[in-house]
Amino acid sequence: MARAVLRAGDHGAGQAAKICNNMLLGISMIGTCEAFALAERLGLEPDKFFEIASKSSGQCWSLTSYSPWPGLVETAPSNRDYAGGFAVAMMLKDLKLAQAAAAASGASTPLGAQAEALYALWDRLGNSGRDFSSMLELLRGEV
């Protein structure tokens, strides 16, 4: 299933890498969605924001490979009403695992905790099967 297979370390390191990576992805997508929502409120066209941010310090995978704004990345689930892709329920599961691991290890993950709370809300609002980038709708106030 993966494009690259990398050895993370001893027993359990692969699981640790997965939940840490997915926590980062969940946080990154929320930031990307927030930036699009703010840009829209400030009168900046989504395609112009995308063009600028994708060539600036805000460039990230959530923006340029999986844009939550429809019409900007041809293969993104946002172009299919957020069908397919990585479900909100799966992101929430991984964020819960990350928070449990953080609690068990004594790590501080305040953004991970906030991401879990936002995805839990989005899940409760009936979006568990939609792609996690659909979070844009919540942040745009389309609930």
Q: How far apart are CA 132 and CA 136, in angstroms?
A: 9
Cα angle vertex 29, ends 78, 48, to 5°?
A: 65
Q: What is the dihedral of CA 50, 55, 60, 62, to 10 degrees?
A: 20
Report CA-CA distances (Å) from 19 to 89, 125, 137.
14, 24, 25
Per the CB < 8 A criterion, the answer to whether 131 and 119 are in contact is no
The residue among 80, 79, 53, 48 whose CA lies nearest residue 64 is 53
**Positions marked catalytic:** 18
